[in-house]
Structure 1
C-alpha cells in the first residue's frame, strides 16, 4: 500500500510522506524486498525476475543500478598490479565492450565501451578514480591486437605485455591447419 502522509503546519499545510526506516528513499520497495530481487537477478535475467514477481522490468533495473553504483563507489584499485583484458560483443553486430580483470583477485574491475586503444584510456581513468595508479600496473595480459598493444604502451608505459595463452594457441592451431 501507499505510505501514510501527514500535513505540516509549518510548511503551509503541504502534505509530507513519512520516511520509513525499512525502505530506501523514493524506492517504493522495502530493503528486504530489494535484497531478495538482487539475489534473484544474480541467478537469472531481469526480465525473468520481473515475470516471477509480477512487476515490470523497468521498475527493477533502477534497483540493480543503485546497488551496483553503490558497490562501485567503494571499490579500491590501489593494489592492482596485474591486469587481463579482452573485448566481447555487447549485442549482435559490432557493439563491443572491453572487460578488465584484476588477475590476482580474479575479479572484473572495469568495463569500457569499445575495443581499441581508447578503451585503455577509459580504464586508466577508472583505475585512478578508485585509488589505483598507472605506474603500479606491472603487467597486462592481452590478445595480440595491435590496438591493445598500442593502448598499453601509450597509457601504461611501465607495464610489460603478456599475450594470453588462449589467443596464442588459437594462432598456433590456425597456422598448423594452414600448413596441413
Structure 2
C-alpha cells in the first residue's frame, strides 16, 4: 500500500470534515437542549406570574371582605341567616300571609290558556272578546260584522296593489328618449 501525499491529504481533509460534522451535530444538540431549558423556564415564569396574580387577587378580596365586615358591624348590623329563618314549604309560607285589609286591591290573577269544556269549536284558538262589553266576535251585531268585512276587503286590495307595485319596480323599462 503506497500512500502518496495527495491521498494522505484527501484522507486528512475527509477526517477533518467528519470531525467538523460531528462537532456541529454535538453543538446543535446542545443548543436544542438549552432552548428546551429556556422554554421550560419561561413556562415556569408564566405559571409563577399567574400564581402571583391569583394570590394578589385573593389578598385584595379578603382585605375587602374584612373592610366590609367592619363596615357592616359598625353601620348596618346585618347578620347571616340562620336555619330557623328558612321555611319548609308552601304551607308554612301561606301561614305567614295576612288577610287583606279594608280597601286593599284585589289580588292579581293570571290568565289560563285552557279551553273550557263547554266550548267545543274546531279552532284551538280562544275566541276574541271585547274588553269593553265582554261579547265575543261571534255575537257582534250585523253592522259590526259588515264593517269588519269591509276592512278585510280593503286590506286585500292594498295587498294586491303592493304586489303590483313590487312587480313594476322589479322591471327595468328603457325610456323612449334614451332610445332615440
* TM-score computed with the length of structure 1 as normaliser: 0.16
Higher RCO structure, 1 or 2 (CA under 8 Å, sep 6+): 1
**Larger strand percent:** 1
* TM-score computed with the length of structure 2 as normaliser: 0.16
When Rg is computed on C-alpha atoms for both structures, the one with the higher figure is 2
**Larger helix percent:** 2
